[in-house]
A and B are shown apart, each in its own frame.
Chain A
Amino acid sequence: MADRTPRGHALNVEMRGLTKSFGPTPALNAVDLTVRNGEFLAILGPSGSGKTSLLRVLAGLEFAESGTIAIGGRAMEGVPARERGVGFVFQNYALFRHMTVARNIAFGLEIRPRRLRPRAHEIRDRVASLLDLMGIGDLGGRYPDQLSGGQRQRVALARALAIEPALLLLDEPFGALDAKVRKTLRVWLKDLHDRIGLTSIFVTHDQAEAMEMADRVAVMREGRIEQVDTPDHLYLEPASAFVHEFLGEAIRLDCVVADGVARFPGLPSAVLPTSCRPGAAIALIRPYEIGFIVRPGPAHVVSVHANGPLKRVRLLIGGVGIEVLSPAEGWTPVVGENCDLELSKARVYPI
């Protein structure tokens, strides 16, 4: 079975200065992105950030107004979608509703011109091995409307893989699935990618999904790539306030930068060295990165709730409410009293 799985010709992708607009708003704004061969790359961003547009431009379903794409070193300018050899898994799967699962998967092979078309029995074998690979070997005779969401997703994937694409694109691959199925399929898809070694790009708005599955994550905002990095680096060293806040809960504190340090109006004790340019700025810190200093200070303790291994502490600083997570076994603030805060893990960004 393994010898029949698509393998072996993973290609790299180079995007340079891709720009495209719908009306006055740019969907893609000078996007530069390199995807290495065999890589599993996530494009992460809120809705309307241009991530699906980027995928569709790559597939040749839409065209950029300027910029270049090269897949495996071959320029894609003027190459129509059907000649790009790019596998595309649509968000709603877009299975051919009037064909059986087996015919769906065979489609890309059966439509080839006679001289390029595998023989009928070869197509049958390929379909059978893909069904096995997807773990749905007994569903070949079903119609799409007789399948569950997770099964449809596997069929869509098998159909895209049948043409042995050099590049696999997945648009919100888990968007239409419920949370439980999503979790299992994530692990399964990551595993499948590692086994068949295709260059794959998937689009998602779910940061947990991107962080868990991808080798690298490209964060998009308003048609631009904000940062491309491994999940670890992205989390520890976000390049912008947007990335910092998009990747997880963050507390936002106003501050002023002068002489290489950030000072907080309501927290005189916190002085943070920073390379941020002077002037008004914001500091972002994750709720569990804030430390308590046991001495009277500007933070007024409003409530304390135990929450498993962490406790959730609500504070008021100069009239602004924040929620801090701290280890359950550490010092417990007393409701109604004041304390000071330690912010050394905060990151300062220009406004």
Chain B
Amino acid sequence: MTTSAAQETAGTRVMLILLTAALLIVLLVLPLVVVLAEAFRKGIPAALATLSDPDSLTAIRLTLIVAAISVPLNTVFGVSAAWCISRFRFPGRGALVTLIELPFSVSPVISGLVWVLLFGINGWLGSFLDKAGVQIIFALPGLILATVFVTFPFVARTLIPLMQEQDASEEEAAITLGATGWQTFSRVTLPNIRWGLIYGVLLCNARAMGEFGAVAVVSGHIRGQTMTMPLQVEALFNDYDWVGAFTMAGLLALLALATLAVKAALEWRIGRRGGMH
């Protein structure tokens, strides 16, 4: 009886493993292979030629700039928000938690549209900004605003449950031992939330580089000026430039893999330095 039960479990286990592996291959590995295969279909020189095209270079630079600005901003915002929500009781705290999730619950297109309505030439503040000579929509500031808005929840959402679970007593202990607010944060809070923080930043970065909808609305699709990588992929695709589109898409995928590698390296380093988690 027991052997047959054990065999049955073993059989189920093998089935589950095979199913998972199949799903992983079809849903994750295969698309990546297809992207890279399409990119190199006409050979490596053709793919490299796409990348050296000025419009593509602009798109790559723009995506990196947008991510480099919005990810640190949202890291600071996210940590501050999580700190406030998990460490203090104040009126409107529940509303703040809901507000943080707002970007997740509205369509990215609307997230882009609000900025156009606010800062566009016919928007509420648009004419005023136009007179002052500041352009936000169809320019880099608009791209950053839209990206910051869409990626705002990632860091905060990963940290809030973590920090609520770890109550404030370690921080209070640090304070009674004479630590300043900054020392408490950098020596006690930060090491305790580092895994959640790395994970949140990674998700935030992936979305910041890959965001399409919100960015598409505020970008205005000006080639060589306001096209980020995902927009450039679509433009090249619409031009029937398959190699170009897939090369750009492949590069985007490699950037994602690179962030994963950075995360793995950080985990390895911190883990080796003596973290017990």
Contacts and interface: CB of A to CB of B under 8 A. Distances in A.
Do A and B share a complex? Answer: yes
Interface of A: 59-61, 80-88, 90, 92, 94-98, 100, 107-108, 111-112, 143, 145-146, 159-160, 162-163
A98 B183 contact: no
B192 A82 contact: no
Nearest to B190: A98
A145 B276 contact: yes
B176 A88 contact: yes
Contacts of A81: 172, 175-176
11 contacts: A60-B176, A61-B175, A82-B179, A86-B176, A88-B173, A96-B174, A96-B191, A97-B192, A98-B274, A107-B174, A162-B177
Interface in B167-220: 169-170, 172-180, 183, 187-188, 191-192
B170 A96 contact: yes
Contact of A112 (B169, B178, B275): B178
From A59, A88, A95, residue with most partner B Cβ within 10 Å: A88
Contacts of A86: 176
B176 A82 contact: yes
Contacts of A108: 177-179
A172 B178 CA distance: 22
A90 B35 CA distance: 56
Given A90-B173, A163-B178, 4 more contacts: A61-B172, A94-B173, A108-B179, A159-B177
Contacts of B179: 82, 107-108, 111
Contact of B172 (A85, A90, A162): A90
Given A92-B169, A145-B276, A98 B175 contact: no
A98 B42 CA distance: 52
A107 B177 contact: yes
Nearest to A141: B274
B177 A98 contact: no
A181 to B, nearest CB: 21
Given A98-B192, A98-B275, A111-B187, A82 B180 contact: yes
Looking at A81, A98, A107, A159, the one whose CB has the most chain B CB atoms below 10 A away is: A98
Nearest to A110: B187
B87 to A, nearest CB: 12
A82 B170 contact: no
Contacts of B188: 96
A88 B187 CA distance: 19
A341 to B, nearest CB: 51
Nearest to A56: B172
Contacts of A80: 175
Contacts of A94: 169-170, 172-173
Most chain A beta-carbon contacts within 10 A, residue among B172, B177, B276? B177
A92 B168 CA distance: 11
B16 to A, nearest CB: 32
A97 B178 contact: no
A143 B191 CA distance: 14
Nearest to A143: B276
B110 to A, nearest CB: 40
A87 B187 CA distance: 19
A159 B178 CA distance: 12
Interface in B205-263: none
Contacts of A82: 175-180
A82 to B, nearest CB: 5
Contacts of A84: 176
B86 to A, nearest CB: 16
Interface in B16-73: none
